[in-house]
Amino acid sequence: MSKKKAKLIYKHNSFDVIEEGDFVLCAVSRKEIMLKDLNYWNVELQEAYFSPIEVNERYKNFKKL
């Protein structure tokens, strides 16, 4: 079975699927996140994150700027 990357628009409490697929990539770790498991994203940056660890990493990087 072949998996396909989805394209999403992230909203504050949900996301819209622009292009059907099975997963998105974490913006920090590049791990695949199955859409059913997607819980963390940033609306302003339009990025998905695998876990709170990656969210924290992204936040720390932006605090440095």
With respect to residue 55, please indicate whether it lies within any of the assigned structural domains.
yes
With respect to residue 37, please indicate whether it lies within any of the assigned structural domains.
yes
With respect to residue 29, please indicate whether it lies within any of the assigned structural domains.
yes
With respect to residue 1, please indicate whether it lies within any of the assigned structural domains.
no
Number of domains in the chain: 1
Residue 42 structural domain:
7-64
With respect to residue 2, please indicate whether it lies within any of the assigned structural domains.
no
pLDDT, tens digit, 9 for 90 and up, residues 3-28: 999 999 999 999 999 999 999 999 99
Residue 55's alpha-carbon distances to 1, 5, 6, 61, 63, in angstroms, are: 30, 21, 20, 10, 12
pLDDT, tens digit, 9 for 90 and up, residues 40-49: 999 999 999 9
With respect to residue 17, please indicate whether it lies within any of the assigned structural domains.
yes
Convert 25-42 to b/e letters by CB count within 10 Å (16 or more is b).
ebbbeeeebeeeebebbe
Global pTM value: 0.90
